[in-house]
């Protein structure tokens, strides 16, 4: 990983959109800080599209989609898009979501029954297309229990990922990358891969690896250091600051390039 200061000026000038994780990337200790809110506003004023893409649920994300200066929020790892005007766009149709609901509940119960210490995330009531197990937000699970839960979810045919706070599992082929491609097509009628050099991804943990690998302009906030031993794909650049302060560095780097 290179220091963010080594991000070339010409690459920064070409940026027209930013995808970012939320937990421990935009937020600090569970809340968005003033510097991160200011960074979002700075990017909006520059004409840069910002879309947070997160494992957090629909219910948790809805108020932020309305109040933050962003184009949309894509929660539940790419399953839907929440727009500032209150609309929700779904990747899966209603029949598929209804069919999966019972399967999600069954797997969640199996996790609770079979994995000592496992608890569902406190934001579970707001989830529509996935389940989440808390490993670092309000509860703590050791690495072997995290691995056990991931293996259990995958044995049930689920996609399973580990964020900085939760273990998420869902049925379907969507993920952060497919969700990013989908929302760019749905909102702007454009092909993300055809203009990938004009987009940035900012993240902090193992569930961001697919994005780090795909985006040439990929950035980790400094607290990604915690996950480096588990990362097969690392971001190209890293900020000095952690969490929201690191995201604010990214916004300043883009602002300074576009002066």
Q: Comparing C-alpha atoms, which of 225, 204, 226, 201 is closest to residue 213?
A: 201
- Asked if 141 contacts 118 with a C-beta cutoff of 8 angstroms, the reply is yes
Confidence (pTM)? 0.94
- 169-186 pLDDT, tens per residue? 999 999 999 999 999 999
What the block records as the tokens of 174 is: 């969507």
- 135-147 pLDDT, tens per residue? 999 999 999 999 9
Which residues in 112-136 are b (16+ Cβ under 10 Å) and which e? eeebeebbbbebbebbbbbbbbbbb
Q: Domain 94-170, CATH 3.90.1070 — does that match?
A: yes
CATH architecture of the domain formed by 2-91+174-257: 3-Layer(aba) Sandwich (3.40)
Category of 78 on φ-ψ map: left (φ > 0), alpha (ψ -120 to 50) or beta: left
Which residues in 143-164 are b (16+ Cβ under 10 Å) and which e? eebbebbbebbeeeebbbbbbb
Give the CA radius of gyration of the chain. 18
pLDDT given at position 225: 96
pLDDT given at position 148: 98
Annotated domain spans of the chain: 2-91+174-257, 94-170
Q: Residue range 48-57: average pLDDT?
A: 97
pLDDT given at position 259: 77
**Beta carbons within 10 angstroms of residue 83's beta carbon:** 17
CA distance 115 to 111: 6
CA distance 6 to 174: 33
For the chain, give the longest Cα–Cα distance. 57
pLDDT given at position 258: 87
Average pLDDT over the chain reads 97
């Amino acid at each position: 990983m290179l220091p963010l200061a080594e991000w070339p000026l010409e690459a920064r000038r070409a940026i027209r959109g930013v995808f970012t994780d939320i937990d421990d990337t935009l937020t600090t200790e569970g809340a968005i800080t003033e510097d991160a809110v200011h960074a979002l506003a700075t990017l909006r004023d520059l004409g840069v599209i910002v879309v947070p893409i997160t494992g957090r649920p629909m219910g948790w994300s809805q108020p932020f989609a309305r109040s933050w200066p962003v184009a949309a929020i894509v929660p539940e790892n790419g399953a839907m898009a929440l727009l500032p005007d209150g609309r929700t766009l779904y990747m899966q149709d209603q029949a598929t979501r209804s069919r999966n609901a019972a399967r999600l509940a069954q797997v969640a119960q199996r996790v609770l029954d079979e994995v000592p210490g496992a608890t569902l995330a406190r934001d579970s009531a707001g989830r529509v297309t996935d389940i989440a197990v808390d490993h670092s937000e309000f509860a703590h699970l050791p690495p072997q229990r995290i691995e056990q839960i991931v293996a259990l979810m995958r044995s049930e045919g689920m996609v399973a990922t580990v964020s900085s706070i939760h273990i998420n599992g869902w049925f379907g082929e969507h993920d952060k990358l497919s969700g990013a491609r989908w929302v760019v097509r749905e909102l702007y009628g454009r092909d993300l891969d055809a203009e990938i050099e004009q987009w940035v991804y900012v993240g902090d943990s193992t569930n961001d690896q697919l994005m780090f690998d795909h985006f040439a302009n990929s950035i980790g906030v400094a607290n990604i250091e915690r996950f480096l031993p588990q990362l097969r794909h690392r971001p190209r650049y890293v900020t000095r600051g952690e969490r929201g302060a690191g995201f604010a560095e990214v916004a300043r780097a883009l602002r300074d390039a576009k002066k």
